Amino acid sequence: MEKLFEEYDLFLTPTVAHPAPRVDQKLQSDLIYTRLRVAAELSELELADLIYEMFEKSFVMTPYTQLANLTGQPAILLPTYVTTEGLPLGIQFMASKGREDLLFEIGKQFEKKELFQLPTPFR
């Protein structure tokens, strides 16, 4: 990832691939819940598979923020859109390690130009 920042100061991505699920939406299957109850009896390979399956949906919903989380790159998420259902969407800037100053500066520029879009309860 650091190689990218030898040529570019910032890397821009969406924050999510899909709007947030409903709070009552079930994100895990009954099979996963069953396997979690007997996790102590599973082999290391079975546990690794279970962990992957547990997080698979979240990786699909938030693949871009996972990149920063897994690589340790500093990142800033900026709320730049609200869906017709009132759900926030945004963008993410990532920077080279140690260059948080660039992220603060881009956030400051967005705020100064009033580019943030927040759901009604947060305005």
Give, in order, the Cα–Cα distances in Å from 32 to each of 49, 65, 68: 10, 24, 27
Residue 43 has pLDDT above 90, yes or no: yes
Domain ranges, ordered by start, for the chain: 4-122
**Mean pLDDT, to the nearest integer, of 51-71?**
87
pTM for the predicted model, two decimal places:
0.78
**Mean pLDDT, to the nearest integer, of 43-62?**
89
pLDDT at 110: 96
pLDDT at 39: 93
Give, in order, the Cα–Cα distances in Å from 25 to each of 11, 22, 52, 57: 32, 5, 20, 12
Dihedral (CA of 105, 81, 8, 96) sign: positive
The pLDDT tens digits of the residues spanning 78-106 come to 999 999 988 899 999 999 999 999 999 99
Which amino acid is it at 12? L
Contact 86, 118 (CB under 8 A): no
**Mean pLDDT, to the nearest integer, of 96-123?**
93
